[in-house]
């Protein structure tokens, strides 16, 4: 190892610290969301219980909408950068954040998911005027205290600030320009989610188990991520993605340290996106968590983690592409096939959606095999489009799950869903549209997104991945169609499913996601243009 | 006759076609799709709660009206197209841009030319007749509204398929017809066999769809476009191997949809669907989509002799394969299904001959659409009168009791065996002639197929309408109502006169701008071939007469039969092959994965009960629910990943 | 690798010290067992038998410990700021005030929700 990098570690020559220069306007969406989260904590502390829930909703919605507006303003003002690749925007806040085209698009996407999530959290008409979250998480399940808390109509309105923190973490994750920042973002997004997973009102033990599993495994994988960061730092002498990139392309030696570091960082990220073999938590957690949280998590975490993964591997490790690409190929193949085949065997709707989420992680990894720049479909644009289409359909599907109920709360056994088409045609049609989008049937967002990741991969020379991808989607389609047939044509079990009448909140989520899914399938042009113009990552 | 003419194709003429923008009548062609699509949406989604709402009472009329309206639009368009200059007969109308990425864009457009015009007439015309027939056939079915909704959905999807100007849009229709077919085969899903058949059709078709999907990806990767016209222009500059790969991938797609060997096995099972469905989808229209695909992609096949040869081989094998199965089946619908496979084999064979055969493939496709729909509907009429019994050994002597059904069926019969003057005579004759002109062995296969066709169709005819009555006791055969016989009469008339399309080479000339044309000289005058064909057909028919009309027909199928019959009854072991090659490994894989995920499974609903049971009983290996197992998996995965990356570096 | 020698030496020494202290205690120390000695944790919480109300342990101790850590971490950030106070100028002051305010928000939350009441 050269003397230069050691000096950086030891810090032999202390240099005077200069006051950093932060462009607050550029990172305002992030600040607004985190501000809304902090405000939410204060609301929790001072607003009387009777008004708390409503106030929290207002703070969260206003925060998300304001941040969205700010994102649009920031996005419109990004400068175009012409280098080796065309991009927009660039690093800010002393290089710790990169507010570039993909980052801004991801912000907007995450805020959209966040808004839908908040609407689902706010639903209180399904369970006798109570939200989907437990009255008091500290009471033991089934205890007298719990019943007492329920009777008093105590509610955990903390979920809103927690969601805002998670959202802030996701946005930070997608735009962080150094590994340390990424780690902080990872934790900021994960910790609130661990907590929220354990807050279900019904089937609390399952929910707490899910939270515990998610936390332990999440912490475990974070450790891998951190270890990887340490190794890469050891290799490059810097946390900054730009500096790492320079070190990688100049081949400064210590290749093994770099490779091990890349592998470990990859492990941490693959855990978050639920790729095989780091997926095992997904079915259990998706099943146990309160469904609105599952919806938010499925869409948001995947989007943030994927964009972060693309950023690290394209920007920092772009020069070592042929070292990591084979591993990503292999994992993409395993993940697609595993997710598609395993979902065939599922009988629980939430577990099935979890396996579908695993399969989609595989398809997204296919997109990662594409080109980083060019005139056609690039990896970044394909993945961004895919994330929007998948996220919208996933949130919509989970929103439908919240509505199909029996006496014990949501009924997620597929057999109980038989005959939903008769009970509530609108809901069944909506769910069908989401499933068809997952399956990648033409005229849904899922088709265009599958098509674009495959096109990107094929352009990048990864045709074997495309072949496997097409096979896997064929397999998956078989299963989805079977569920559709079950919904419409199977005789209902007993009285059939009951569809709770929700408030306009959940209806609007279902309506919006259906609309997005169809519009992205029929008229994908505007969004394709947007992700296309977002350009490449700027370091 | 033995001329093995080497095929040197002239520069494809069809590449010169320049589509003109639609105006006047042609700017309304989107209505063709829109009308049945809207009707399907109304029938399937609208007014879901009531079981006896107005839609349930009049829905079938709406569905039928939609099909007829679409037919009217088709006729108007066709007449208008006749009035156009030859150079302006390819009309295109851009509806909207579906996707645009960089230089690549897919436009939702209606591409209406000579080829699609003929298909539109066939689909909406035969479709309308079958809608009318279904009003009678499905009169007592409580879910007939849904049935008509599915039929409309099918018509819409099929029209999208043939009106597509872009392979991706074609793929949309392709998936749509597959979906409609799946839903309609399984329409009586309470019958387990129907549900299984639907599943099988779906899975086998997916294999074919893979080919089409990959073919489209390859076009995109090579040419940066998936527009059919532009692909045709670009492929001429591409390498031979690209054209071959494209041709073979598209052929795989065509095999799946058109039930060609090796993806044939689903069609026989698909007969579990209601008979009008068998007539419309599994005889007249959808199963011919593969032929359409090959002809539409003429520009690709013109450039690759390998791909064309593959098409010819598939066609020849299937035409004999299907005929063989047709000989052995006692189920009237399955015998007809074997015959469908066989006839589509003829079309494939013709399509594989290149510009010399494309027009004849389409010609036979149209006449086949008439007579096969006619015969299927006739079979449905017979079943209607026989309490839905499909075993021909339980029929016999029905000609007196069902005179209209008998006469119309006989017209179809004469057409399919190629009785001189009937439509099938002209269309099959053309194919066999061109086959001989190109390759002796292909011609011989086609000739042999004609003889076998005459044999098994005569058998069907004799077992059903002639001989002794062998009915079950509670069966009282009767003629079907007018609403069912009128479509039969129309189709029978078309089966008789359909051959007129080839008078003064009209259909060849009409299609030349699309497919190009070419004529191979035979070593002998054409009438010699014709005579030979007629002679072979006569031999086949007489043989059947001797074997079935002169002897008693046993009530149950005899078990002491030749190995050939046994093989035919077992669909030539197609299922056994599928099972060994695809199903077993697939089941094994799912089962082991179920084994992997032991949580939350009780296997009650989704039809994998027995399969899941095994897995759930086993140890829960990987998806245990224990964090320690998951952590170990993550650790193991991480270890492998690190070592793999390091190994890459060391290597 | 020479740059890493001190690190390795330090690692070896600390490892040796850990092994040494674990081994030396049972060898040299007196062995007088009592109930508290054989508890799993010696920090005041009885893991067995199960506590009343569903086998839960009181969390008050942990809350206090976590609050301590929060302020501990705050101090860690305040130290370097104090050292470089004049270089950072107004920017440093504003950022630091924001930081303290944010930590304070969490503190207020704990206070309002009764986290500071021992019983």
For A372-430, how does the pLDDT look when each residue is reduced to its tens digit (9 = 90+)? 766 667 889 999 999 999 999 999 999 999 998 887 778 888 888 888 887 888 898 89
Asked if residue A539 is part of any domain, the answer here is no
Q: Assign B589 a pLDDT band (cuts: 50, 70, 90).
A: low
Give the residue from chain A lying closest to B630, CA to CA: A280
The DSSP H or E segment spanning B638 is helix B627-650
Q: What is the pLDDT of residue B208?
A: 86
Residues of chain A found within 8 Å of residue C87, distances taken between Cβ atoms:
16-19
Lowest mean pLDDT among A166-170, B160-164, B623-627, C107-111: B623-627
Asked if residue A10 is part of any domain, the answer here is no
Lowest mean pLDDT among A48-57, B92-101, B428-437: B92-101
Range of the structural domain that residue A415 is part of: 22-533
Asked if residue A489 is part of any domain, the answer here is yes
Placement of tokens 């990894």 in the chain: A365
Indicate if the pLDDT at residue A520 is higher than 70.
yes
Indicate if the pLDDT at residue A272 is higher than 90.
yes
CA A197 – CA A200 distance, rounded (Å)? 7
- Output the DSSP codes for A191-233: HHHHHHHT-BSSSHHHHHHHHHHHHHHHHHHHHHHHHHHHHHH
Q: Does A80 touch chain C (CB under 8 A)?
A: no
b (16+ CB within 10 A) / e for B432-460: bbbbbbbbeebbebbbbbbbbbbbbbbbb
Best B185, B222, B606 member to test A by mutation, with max A CBs in 10 Å, is B606
Non-local CB neighbours of A475 within 8 Å, separated by 6+ positions: A337, A340, A341, A344, B206
Cα–Cα nearest to A286, from A408, A173, A196, A219:
A196
CA B534 – CA B450 distance, rounded (Å)? 9
Average confidence (pLDDT) over A430-446: 91
Indicate if the pLDDT at residue B79 is higher than 70.
yes
Q: How many CB pairs under 8 A join A and B?
A: 204
Q: What is the pLDDT of residue A375?
A: 67
Task: Give the sheet arrangement for strand A404-406, strand by strand.
Answer: A409-410, A404-406, A498-499
Q: Assign B586 a pLDDT band (cuts: 50, 70, 90).
A: low
| CA-based nearest distance A19→chain C, Å | 5
Q: Assign C97 a pLDDT band (cuts: 50, 70, 90).
A: very high
Q: Does C56 touch chain A (CB under 8 A)?
A: yes
3-state secondary structure of B44: helix
Tokens of A420: 């939903």
Q: Neighbours of C (≥3 Cβ pairs closer than 8 A)?
A: A
Q: What is the pLDDT of residue B158?
A: 93
Placement of tokens 């006047």 in the chain: B24
| CA-based nearest distance A429→chain B, Å | 8
Angle between helices A291-311 and A179-197 in degrees, nearest 10: 170
B485 versus B609: which is more confidently predicted?
B485
Q: What is the pLDDT of residue A497?
A: 78
Q: How many CB pairs under 8 A join A and C?
A: 38
Interface pTM, i.e. ipTM: 0.88
3-state secondary structure of B562: coil
| CA-based nearest distance A405→chain C, Å | 29
Average confidence (pLDDT) over B217-221: 85
Query: Which parts of B186-304 fold into alpha helices (H)?
Result: 192-223, 228-235, 240-257, 265-269, 275-279, 289-296, 298-303
Lowest mean pLDDT among A79-93, B106-120, B611-625: B611-625
Cβ atoms of A26 and C91 closer than 8 Å: no
Q: Which of A1, A6, A41 lies closest to C106 in CB terms?
A: A41
Interface of B with A in 619-648 (CB under 8 A): 622-623, 625, 627, 629-631, 633-634, 636-638, 641-642, 644-646, 648
Cβ atoms of B296 and B158 closer than 8 Å: no
Average model confidence (pLDDT) for chain A? Answer: 88
Q: Assign A10 a pLDDT band (cuts: 50, 70, 90).
A: very low
Cβ distance C108 to A45 less than 8 Å, yes or no, reads: yes
CA A151 – CA B263 distance, rounded (Å)? 63
What are the tens digits of pLDDT across the range C17-59?
A: 999 999 998 888 888 777 767 766 665 556 556 555 555 666 7
- Parallel, antiparallel or unpaired: strands B91-101 and B20-21: parallel
The matching CATH number, chosen from 3.40.50.2300, 1.20.120.1200, 1.10.150.120, 1.20.58.1610, for C56-119 is 1.20.58.1610
Cβ distance A278 to B642 less than 8 Å, yes or no, reads: no
CA A236 – CA A246 distance, rounded (Å)? 9
CA B312 – CA B318 distance, rounded (Å)? 10
Indicate if the pLDDT at residue B598 is higher than 90.
no
Q: Considering chain A, what percentage of its residues have pLDDT values greater than 90?
A: 52
- Parallel, antiparallel or unpaired: strands B91-101 and B104-112: antiparallel
| CA-based nearest distance B589→chain A, Å | 8
Give the residue from chain A lying closest to B587, CA to CA: A341
Asked if residue A493 is part of any domain, the answer here is yes
Average confidence (pLDDT) over B367-389: 89
pTM (two decimals): 0.84
The DSSP H or E segment spanning B515 is helix B506-515
Number of domains making up chain A: 1
Q: Does A11 touch chain C (CB under 8 A)?
A: no
Q: What is the pLDDT of residue B58?
A: 82
Indicate if the pLDDT at residue B642 is higher than 70.
yes
- Three-state secondary structure of chain C: CHHHHHHHHHHHHHHHHHHHHHHHHHHHCCCCCCHHHHCCCCCCCCCCCCCHHHHCCCCHHHHHHHHHHHHHHHHHHHHHHHHCHHHHHHHHHHHHHHHHHHHHHHHHHHHHCCCCCCC
Cα–Cα nearest to A395, from A315, A331, A302:
A302
What are the tens digits of pLDDT across the range B249-270?
A: 999 999 989 988 888 888 888 8
Q: Assign A437 a pLDDT band (cuts: 50, 70, 90).
A: very high
Cβ atoms of A19 and C89 closer than 8 Å: yes
Q: Does C102 touch chain A (CB under 8 A)?
A: yes
E-only strand ranges, A373-520: 404-406, 409-410, 498-499
Tokens of A95: 């290089």
Contact B/A (≥3 CB pairs under 8 Å): yes
Q: What is the pLDDT of residue A156?
A: 83
Asked if residue A538 is part of any domain, the answer here is no
Please provide residue A157's backbone torsions phi and psi, each rounded to the nearest 5 degrees.
-80, 0
Cβ atoms of A250 and A235 closer than 8 Å: no
3-state secondary structure of A98: strand
What is the number of other CB atoms lying within 10 angstroms of the CB of residue C21?
Answer: 9
Tokens of A513: 């996601």
Asked if residue A29 is part of any domain, the answer here is yes
């Amino acid at each position: 190892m050269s003397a230069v990098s050691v000096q950086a570690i030891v810090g032999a020559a202390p240099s005077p610290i200069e006051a950093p220069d932060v462009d607050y306007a550029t990172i305002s969406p992030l600040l607004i969301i985190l501000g809304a989260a902090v405000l939410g904590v204060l609301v929790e502390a001072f607003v009387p219980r009777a008004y708390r829930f409503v106030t929290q909703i207002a703070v969260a919605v206003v925060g998300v909408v304001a941040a969205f507006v700010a994102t649009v303003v920031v996005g419109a003002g990004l400068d175009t950068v012409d280098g080796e690749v065309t991009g927009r925007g660039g690093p800010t806040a002393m290089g710790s954040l990169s507010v570039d085209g993909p980052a801004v698009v991801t912000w907007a996407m995450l805020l959209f998911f966040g808004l839908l999530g908040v609407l689902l959290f706010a639903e209180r008409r399904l369970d006798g005027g109570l939200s989907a979250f437990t009255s008091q998480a500290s009471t033991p399940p089934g205890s007298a205290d719990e019943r007492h808390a329920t009777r008093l109509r105590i509610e955990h309105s903390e979920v809103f600030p927690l969601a805002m923190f998670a959202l802030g973490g996701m946005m930070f994750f997608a735009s962080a320009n150094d590994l340390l920042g990424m780690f902080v973002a990872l934790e900021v997004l994960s910790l609130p989610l661990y907590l929220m997973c354990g807050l279900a009102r019904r089937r609390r033990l399952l929910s707490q188990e899910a939270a515990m599993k998610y936390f332990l495994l999440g912490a475990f994988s974070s450790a891998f991520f951190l270890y990887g960061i340490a190794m890469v730092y050891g290799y490059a002498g810097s946390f900054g993605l730009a500096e790492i990139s320079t070190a990688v392309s100049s081949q400064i030696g210590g290749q093994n340290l770099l490779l091990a570091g890349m592998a470990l960082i990859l492990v941490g990220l693959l855990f978050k996106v639920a790729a095989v073999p780091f997926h095992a938590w997904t079915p259990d957690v998706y099943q146990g968590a309160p469904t609105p949280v599952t919806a938010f998590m499925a869409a948001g975490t995947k989007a943030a983690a994927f964009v972060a993964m693309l950023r690290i591997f394209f920007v920092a490790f772009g020069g070592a592409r042929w070292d990591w690409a084979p591993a990503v190929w292999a994992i993409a193949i395993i993940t697609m096939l595993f997710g598609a085949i395993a979902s065939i065997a599922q009988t629980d709707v939430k577990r099935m959606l979890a396996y579908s989420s695993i399969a989609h992680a595989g398809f997204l990894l296919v997109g990662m095999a594409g080109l980083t720049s060019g005139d056609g479909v690039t990896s970044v644009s394909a993945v961004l489009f895919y994330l929007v289409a998948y996220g919208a359909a996933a949130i919509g599907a989970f929103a439908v799950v919240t509505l199909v109920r029996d006496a014990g709360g949501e009924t997620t056994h597929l057999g109980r869903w038989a005959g939903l088409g008769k009970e509530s045609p609108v809901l069944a049609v909506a769910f069908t549209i989401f499933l068809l989008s997952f399956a990648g049937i033409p005229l849904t967002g899922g088709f265009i997104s599958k098509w674009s990741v495959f096109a990107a991969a094929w352009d990048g020379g990864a045709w074997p991945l495309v072949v496997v991808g097409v096979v896997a989607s064929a397999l998956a389609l078989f299963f989805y169609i079977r569920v559709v047939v079950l919904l419409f044509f199977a005789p209902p079990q007993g009285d059939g499913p009951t569809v709770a009448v929700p408030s306009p909140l959940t209806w609007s989520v279902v309506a919006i996601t259906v609309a997005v899914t169809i519009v992205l399938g029929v008229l994908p042009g505007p969004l394709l243009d947007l992700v296309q113009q977002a350009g490449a990552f700027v370091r | 006759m033995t001329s093995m003419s080497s095929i040197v194709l002239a520069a494809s003429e069809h590449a010169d076609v320049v589509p003109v923008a639609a105006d006047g009548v042609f700017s309304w062609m989107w209505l063709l799709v829109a009308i049945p699509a809207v009707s399907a949406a109304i029938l399937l989604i609208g007014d879901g709660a009531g079981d006896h709402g107005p839609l349930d009472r009049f829905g079938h009329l709406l569905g039928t009206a939609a099909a007829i309206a679409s037919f009217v639009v088709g006729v108007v368009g066709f007449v208008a197209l006749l009035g156009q200059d030859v150079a302006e007969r390819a009309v295109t109308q851009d509806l909207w841009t579906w996707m645009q990425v960089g230089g690549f864009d897919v436009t939702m457009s209606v591409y209406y030319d000579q080829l699609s015009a003929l298909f539109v007439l066939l689909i909406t015309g035969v479709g309308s007749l079958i809608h009318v027939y279904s009003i009678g056939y499905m009169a007592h079915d409580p879910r007939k509204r849904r049935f008509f909704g599915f039929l409309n959905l099918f018509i819409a999807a099929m029209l999208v398929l043939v009106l597509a100007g872009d392979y991706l849009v074609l793929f949309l229709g392709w998936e749509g017809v597959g979906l409609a077919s799946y839903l309609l085969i399984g329409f009586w899903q309470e019958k387990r066999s129907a549900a299984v058949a639907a599943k099988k059709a779906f899975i086998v078709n997916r294999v074919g769809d893979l080919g089409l999907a990959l073919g489209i990806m390859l076009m995109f990767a090579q040419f940066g476009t998936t527009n059919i016209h532009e692909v045709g222009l670009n492929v001429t500059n591409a390498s031979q191997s690209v054209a071959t790969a494209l041709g073979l991938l598209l052929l795989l797609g065509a095999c799946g949809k058109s039930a060609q060997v090796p993806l044939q096995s689903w069609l026989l099972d698909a007969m579990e669907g209601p008979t009008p469905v068998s007539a419309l989808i599994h005889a007249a229209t959808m199963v011919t989509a593969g032929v359409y695909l090959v002809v539409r992609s003429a520009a690709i096949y013109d450039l690759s002799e390998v791909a064309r040869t593959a098409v010819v081989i598939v066609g020849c094998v299937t035409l004999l394969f299907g005929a063989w199965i047709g000989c052995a089946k006692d189920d009237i619908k399955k015998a007809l299904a074997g015959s469908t496979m066989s006839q589509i084999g003829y079309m494939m064979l013709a399509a594989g001959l290149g510009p010399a055969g494309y027009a004849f493939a389409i010609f036979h496709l149209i006449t086949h659409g008439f007579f096969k729909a006619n015969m299927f509907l006739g079979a449905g009429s017979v079943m209607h009168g026989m309490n839905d019994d499909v075993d021909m050994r339980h029929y016999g002597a029905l000609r007196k009791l069902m005179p209209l059904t008998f006469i119309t069926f006989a017209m179809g019969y004469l057409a399919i065996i190629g009785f001189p003057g009937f439509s099938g005579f002209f269309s099959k004759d053309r194919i066999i002639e061109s086959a001989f002109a190109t390759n002796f062995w292909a011609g011989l296969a086609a000739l042999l197929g004609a003889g076998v066709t005459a044999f098994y169709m005569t058998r069907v005819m004799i077992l059903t309408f002639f001989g002794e009555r062998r009915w079950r006791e509670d069966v009282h055969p009767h003629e079907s109502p007018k609403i069912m016989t009128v479509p039969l009469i129309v189709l029978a008339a078309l089966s008789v006169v359909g051959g007129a399309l080839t008078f003064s080479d009209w259909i060849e000339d009409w299609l030349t701008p699309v497919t190009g044309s070419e004529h191979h000289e035979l070593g002998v005058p054409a009438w010699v071939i014709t005579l030979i064909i007629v002679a072979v057909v006569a031999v086949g028919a007489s043989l059947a007469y001797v074997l079935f009309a002169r002897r008693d027909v046993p009530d149950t199928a005899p078990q002491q039969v030749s190995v050939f019959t046994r093989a035919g009854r077992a669909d030539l072991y197609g299922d056994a092959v599928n099972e060994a090659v695809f199903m077993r490994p697939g089941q094994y894989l799912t089962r082991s994965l179920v084994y992997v995920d032991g949580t939350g499974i009780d296997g009650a609903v989704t039809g994998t009960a027995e399969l899941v049971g095994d897995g759930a009983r086993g140890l829960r290996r990987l998806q245990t629910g224990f964090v320690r197992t998951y952590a170990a998996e993550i650790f193991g995965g991480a270890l492998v990943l690190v070592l793999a990356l390091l190994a890459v570096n060391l290597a | 690798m020479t740059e890493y020698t001190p690190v390795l030496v330090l690692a070896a020494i600390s490892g040796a010290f850990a092994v040494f202290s674990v081994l030396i205690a049972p060898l040299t120390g007196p062995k007088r067992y009592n109930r508290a000695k054989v508890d799993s944790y010696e920090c005041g919480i009885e893991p067995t038998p199960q506590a009343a109300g569903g086998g839960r342990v009181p969390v008050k101790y942990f809350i206090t410990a976590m609050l301590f850590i929060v302020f501990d971490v705050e101090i860690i950030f305040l130290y370097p700021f104090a050292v470089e106070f004049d270089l950072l100028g107004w920017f440093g002051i504003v950022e630091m005030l924001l930081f303290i305010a944010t930590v304070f928000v969490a503190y207020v939350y704990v206070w309002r929700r009764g986290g500071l009441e021992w019983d």
